Structure 1
């Protein structure tokens, strides 16, 4: 999100209430816009089903296809996209633009192949109609392409195009859904899935066309030149995958229990639990908004000054002053962001009890919401700590946090399922608290020894990773394979 900082700084320089309001609004749109638009699309389709009298089964199949596509596309892509972000950042830093567009097509090809294999395994012997399987798989594949394309638009700082693309895709999806429901050309589920397929296809195409217009077609570039990064930065992959797995595992585990509902013998989910989790996770959207503002306008300047003092020959006194300034800004801004979010968590706690009771949820579900609400606060905070460790390239800590989040949710989730529905949500709460406690300890430990980690914990001699991914890339491209981490800026 580094690119958003320039726009935020320009808005804050105005030093007016209007300027500050625009800055926070801009950050909110960039950080939460895609999620809000996609969520609004799904909710709007559900309301259209009700308005046009579609059956509950039709609505349930559509919702199952969308939920599964969203969750498992995130699980499949999260590790790859964070490594791709690192590769793309290096390409832009050294102005090696030749392989930017090819890497987008190469990563998309890998994810589509893996996604197709996963879809075939999942749908094999399922009684769902073939056309519904196909439409669901297309939506799943398009989400994979969207997650990849979003990385590139974020990296080149085209946030307005990112949001515009989502808005156009969602509007097309909703208009086509209305058309199919109005004309009865297709059954409601098939019509709605085809509509979102077309809308998300337009969105993915928009992303790819913009990137190719910016960096050119992948004629001479290397489609898989990023492969060595999967080995070199594999710990980032594990960390991102572990965090995402820990986020969705509680739901997947609850699906296996008595609350699980099987739709058409294919999609298993727990509406009673999933709805509560959804509302709880909405509460942490303000956290990323305020965090981006704080990091991009305050922390990053100190961060750049500290490492600039190191790499450009600053004396010990300058480096030490920069270190103190950096750490003070980091902890101060993080504390402010978390205090801001905690207020929103309390607001959601107060309002949620009334709203959920009006929605028809019982006393136990509302109590579960209160627990999951604070688990969501822990999860949002954990993401911030992981981002800070990624800023300092402390990958060893990132993968450990991700592993703790995943393993903790497996262990506590199974115990929670075994104890019964009165304990649902506590597994998520305990696992998130454990991972966060470790993340806080790890960042404090790193902060106290930051000079050691920056100066002494680095390898004395640079050596390119020679693992299996580097071997595959070298077999494909030989000596033409660029080593971006040793290249000078063009």
Structure 2
């Protein structure tokens, strides 16, 4: 799934400062995807709506509602994200491009049905006391976001990175503009603007998919065929997304840390603000991740397995393996270096940043540990990506499950011990999981030739 990575390699080969800068800029925006852009858009809408939406608490209700939409749609589609990614990458390897679009439509149909049914059930149960307009917009937003995550997966294989970036720019420009234009209608106006903008984004992304993957068939359910089933991938996507959001839910619904915002939705003023800021600080690390792992690593990965398939000499195979290992280590090290700089900047100027944003500097300790945790998450993502390329599904499943378990247990301990420990549960869970990931990755590379030749199924 390195279509964009291929284009980034072309930029890097120009060996100019402009080429490298462009590669990292594109990689930062592309790898951040709609998640971080949604956060930025949501914050922009909130800031620019101050004084125009009365009372101001409606802005908080909007931001909390959107946060839940993002979290719930990511966790729900986690069941299909990676399984569909594997199906699509296998079909592209087989040059069966005509199967991408019909199976994308099938996954979209399933995601729409799942999110729509869950949204309807919640609308008439937990959200029954809220306005009809609010409930309709929440269901619509839930369905649209679920489909956007699926579309983003397909576009990771498309080389038209400029068109992808342009589509994201248009989508989020419309989101912010529509929300600001409609904010005079209060909470429903803000949500309607969010829904309109993301619908435009979904249409744009879908248009790119239809253009790049033409097919005579409109829908095909081969992606759900037992021949192409990878049960572990279904749960990996779910566990990873659940692990990322578990500590947030625990703080939202903790008796001493959360407060009711609208209907059943709760938030944690003490925890949420530093977390959102910290995720905006990982764009440099995500750029390094995409350039070094998706671009550099893939080149030597392909070279190694091409050498194996073509019957190259053992010396050439070992040399290709060594280059692949060095690339992974260099990539993870570069992510560490870049995020270390970001962490030092937050330690040095965190108080100033919070003050400029009108946020109490009492949040500084939590902001610092959250930036460290978010940086560790980028490292974890990088390691998982390498495991996926090496087809270590069981390892990824185990690491994702352990991540959920550790985050739940350690966050529960921090809630017990009080504010001085907040944030350390999430960071500790990621630190332990990253250490385990690097250890297992090192062991995997040590026996790569043996496993490649001797442990293949006939």
Where does structure 1 differ by over 4 angstroms across 4 or more consecutive aligned residues?
Answer: 357-364
Instruction: Tell me whether 1:431 sits opposite 2:429 in the alignment.
Output: yes
In 1, Cα distance between equivalents of 2:426 and 2:356: 25
Change (3 A) 1:409 1:135: same
- Aligned-pair CA distance for 1:357: 4.8
Contact 2:39 2:276 survives alignment (8 Å): no
Per-residue deviation, residues 293-347 of structure 1 (Å, max 9, x unmatched): 2234532222111111101111222222222222223223322332222222221
- Aligned-pair CA distance for 1:52: 1.4
- Aligned-pair CA distance for 1:33: 5.5
Contact 1:37 1:167 survives alignment (8 Å): no
In 2, Cα distance between equivalents of 1:328 and 1:229: 37
In 2, Cα distance between equivalents of 1:19 and 1:99: 34
In 2, Cα distance between equivalents of 1:121 and 1:450: 49
Change (3 A) 1:70 1:438: same
Instruction: Tell me whether 1:234 sits opposite 2:231 in the alignment.
Output: yes
Instruction: Tell me whether 1:450 sits opposite 2:448 in the alignment.
Output: yes
Per-residue deviation, residues 348-382 of structure 1 (Å, max 9, x unmatched): 22222332255555565322222222222221111
Per-residue deviation, residues 14-71 of structure 1 (Å, max 9, x unmatched): 3222222222222223223544532232122112321414312311221121000011
- Aligned-pair CA distance for 1:121: 4.0
One of 162, 170, 175 as aligned partner of 1:173: 175
- Aligned-pair CA distance for 1:118: 2.6
Contact 1:103 1:224 survives alignment (8 Å): yes
Give the aligned partner of residue 220 of structure 2.
Answer: 223
Give the aligned partner of residue 483 of structure 1.
Answer: none
In 1, Cα distance between equivalents of 2:234 and 2:173: 34
Residues 304-313 or 353-362, more deviating: 353-362
One of 155, 158, 161 as aligned partner of 1:159: 161
Contact 1:31 1:288 survives alignment (8 Å): yes
Q: TM-score, normalised by structure 2?
A: 0.93
Give the aligned partner of residue 135 of structure 1.
Answer: 137
In 2, Cα distance between equivalents of 1:67 and 1:441: 34
Segments of structure 2 that go 5 or more residues without pairing to the other structure are none
Change (3 A) 1:203 1:309: same
Contact 1:101 1:215 survives alignment (8 Å): yes
- Aligned-pair CA distance for 1:178: 3.2
SS in 2 for 1:263: strand
In 1, Cα distance between equivalents of 2:164 and 2:51: 31
One of 244, 247, 251 as aligned partner of 1:250: 247
In 2, Cα distance between equivalents of 1:391 and 1:19: 27
Contact 1:381 1:436 survives alignment (8 Å): yes
In 1, Cα distance between equivalents of 2:392 and 2:401: 15
Alignment length (residue pairs): 455
Give the aligned partner of residue 415 of structure 2.
Answer: 417
SS in 1 for 2:335: helix
Give the aligned partner of residue 144 of structure 1.
Answer: 146
SS in 2 for 1:314: coil
Mapping of 1:284-363 within 5 angstroms?
Answer: 284-357=282-355, 359=357, 361=359
Contact 1:150 1:162 survives alignment (8 Å): no
Give the aligned partner of residue 195 of structure 1.
Answer: 193
In 2, Cα distance between equivalents of 1:204 and 1:61: 24
User: What RMSD, in angstroms, separates the aligned Cα atoms of the two structures?
Assistant: 2.2
Change (3 A) 1:67 1:433: same
Whichever of the two has the greater Rg, that structure is 1
Per-residue deviation, residues 407-428 of structure 1 (Å, max 9, x unmatched): 1111112222222233211211
Give the aligned partner of residue 271 of structure 2.
Answer: 273
- Aligned-pair CA distance for 1:199: 1.4
